Amino acid sequence: MFEVSGAVVAAWFGLDGVEVVALEREADGSGSVHVVTAPGVVACCPDCGVSSSRVKELGGQRLARLVVAPMAVTWHKGRFYCENGVCGRVSFTEDGPVAVRSGRVSTPGRETIGRVCGDWMVPVGRVAAAAGVAWHTAHDAFVGVAAAAGIVVTGPAESLEGGLPAETAQPAEPAGSAAAGDLERAAPAARRSVSGPLPLVGVLGLDDHRRGRALYHWDPRVGRWVEDADRWQSVFVDSSGSHGLLGQVEGRTAAATAGWICAQPACWRANIWAVTIDMSTVYKSAARRALPHALLAVDPFHVVQLANKAIGDVRRRVIFERYGGSGGLIRPRPRRRGLSGT
């Protein structure tokens, strides 16, 4: 049996100057760590700075802490003989909840990787690099966590006219919203947080986001290198509330954007009274198709930027028409050094 001191456990959690005395799991699945001051740590008066060794009473200070760190786990287990005479297997190794047989990632580790990708919306590649696993391993963990929550993870939304298999079709909308119902039936199940339903949003923000450099793989079917995934993503945020990220889909097309919106419940869509976008015709089209009742609001920055650009274009056009391409009468001609009167 391996004995580990409380100071060593505290060091693993990044808690210096204390020792772990107890560990317990809360009802919601989170963990609680109980620590005491490590021996040798001197307490000093905050006013005079004099150390003291007399304890008046013991109290507790509850602290919130988040620990997400890569860690290698070595499971020292045995190999057993199969004592069933009619079984063809001679021996086998242990299998338990910490990891499946021949697995390379622990079961709790896979769940953590999946929740970091799903709940925190961290890119799969970044989580895979931090955990030291392959991209497909991290993505499979995300898909597993989503499946346990009853969420189907699919690829980016295809063309809205392409249709869906019967098992992914959405129910029809009530009378009076046939257009939205058609979009919802044609849109595949979109990626969203695995922590539960989305909060109600009054103003929905649409924008695009570009991930890191492109990664490619060789496709033998077409005989050339192709991108692993679209670097551009469409993101959905709460513009009037917490300004938090609600979801994202690959690509920045009207079909993918409208598909994500139409995949949400009808009551959630009905609560949206305005959509904020930049000067993008793609997101304007997606908002009109998925939320025809909502107002469209454009970011003032883009409006001012467009106005300044128009002023600059008019100024350059007038100068070109009046003074020629160089605008020589506006900018003084440079004087040549060493020659006076020129």
CA 87 – CA 2 distance, rounded (Å): 34
> Which has more pLDDT, 193 or 55?
55
Other C-beta atoms closer than 10 Å to the C-beta of 183 total 22
| pLDDT average, residue stretch 299-326 | 84
Contacts of 12 (CB under 8 A, 6+ apart): 71
Q: Amino acid identity, residue 166?
A: A
CA 192 – CA 265 distance, rounded (Å): 13
Q: What is the DSSP letter of 219?
A: E
Q: pTM for this structure?
A: 0.43
Q: Amino acid identity, residue 22?
A: A
CA 211 – CA 118 distance, rounded (Å): 16
Cα 284 to Cα 145, 255, 277, 289, 307: the distances in Å are 33, 12, 7, 9, 19
pLDDT above 80 (res 129):
yes
- The answer to whether the beta carbons of residues 53 and 40 sit under 8 Å apart is no
* Greatest distance between any 2 Cα atoms in the chain: 114
> Which has more pLDDT, 226 or 342?
226
Q: Amino acid identity, residue 233?
A: Q
Token pair belonging to 233: 């993503």
What is residue 291's predicted lDDT score, i.e. its pLDDT?
Answer: 93
% residues pLDDT > 90 (the chain): 14
What is residue 336's predicted lDDT score, i.e. its pLDDT?
Answer: 56
Token pair belonging to 161: 């006219």
* pLDDT classification of 157: cutoffs 50, 70, 90: very low
